[in-house]
Every structure is written in C-alpha cells, then in structure tokens.
Amino acid sequence: MKSWFWGLAVTAVAAFGSVACGGSAISPEMVQRAQSHDASASEATIMKGKQLFEGKCATCHALPAPTSHTAEEWPEWVKKMAPQAKISGDDEKAVLHYLLGASGG
Ligand code: HEC
C-alpha cells in the first residue's frame, strides 16, 4: 500500500491550493502592522488597497515591491504617487494601508 504517498499528495495539493487561491488573503499580522501605523486600517481596506495598488501603480513603472520602502517612507510616496495614479480619498488610504501592512519595516 502506498497510502503515505496519497497522504503526501493531498497535503501538497491542499497547501498549494491555499497559496494559489490565497493570493489576495491578508494575514492578521499585516492587518496588525497596518493598524499600528493607521488605526483606520482593516482587512477590507488592505484588500482593496492591494487590488488598487496592483491595478494602478504599475502603468508607468514596474510595481514597486512593498518591502522596498518602510512604513515610515510609504506615506510620502503614496501622497506623491496618488495623483499620478489618479486615486484619492478612500482609495489612496486603502493603497497606503496595504503598503503599511506589507512594508519592509
Ligand atoms: C503617471 C505615472 C505614474 C503612476 C501611475 C505611478 N507612478 Fe510611481 N513614479 C512615477 C515616476 C515618474 C517616478 C520617478 C519620479 C520620482 O522619483 O519622484 C515614480 C517613482 C515611484 C517610487 C520611487 C521609486 C521606487 O521604486 O522606490 C515609488 C515607491 C512609486 N513611484 C510608487 C508608486 C505607487 C505606489 C503608485 C500607485 C499609487 C505609483 N507609483 C503610480 C510615475 C508614476
């Protein structure tokens, strides 16, 4: 019997599946980190921000890695880049929340 093989295969598929489908999943750590910089951040704003970031911020240059700037630096960049990406208000805030949560420090 090679039941160990199937056990392994099922585990691998489950693990891969959660990574593949979890592309937009926001970890509790990310939410916590974003909230420590902006109390109005939530899983919903971070998720929305991620989508906006990926959709709006790669038209002029490659999508910057969220880890390429610290949580202290991102607000400056988002303020500068939001008009470039034609976003403002809640959308701008959402992008910042995502970057705060995913930032390099
Ligand atoms: C209309 C074009 C345009 C759009 C859209 C745009 N950028 Fe930029 N971005 C630029 C230009 C031009 C520079 C270089 C100028 C500078 O350094 O001030 C730049 C530089 C940057 C930098 C600094 C370089 C780096 O890689 O660290 C960051 C960070 C950045 N953009 C983030 C963003 C984010 C986040 C968004 C989406 C909200 C965005 N950009 C959308 C034109 C754009």
The model's pLDDT over 2-17, given as tens digits with 9 standing for 90+, comes to: 565 555 555 554 455 4
Residues 54-104 have pLDDT tens digits of 999 999 999 999 999 999 999 999 999 999 999 999 999 999 999 999 997
Q: What is the mean pLDDT of residues 16-21?
A: 46
pLDDT at 25: 81
Provide long-range contacts, Cβ within 8 A and 24+ apart, for 48-51. Answer: 48/91, 48/94, 48/98, 49/93, 49/94, 49/95, 49/96, 49/97, 49/98, 49/99, 50/24, 50/26, 50/98, 50/102, 51/24
Residue 19 confidence (pLDDT): 47
CA distances, 10 to each of 3, 18, 49, 71 (Å) = 11, 12, 33, 38
Q: Is the CB of 70 under 6 A from ligand 1?
A: no
Q: Which residue has the least CA distance to atom 25 on ligand 1?
A: 64
Atom of ligand 1 nearest to the CA of 58: 41
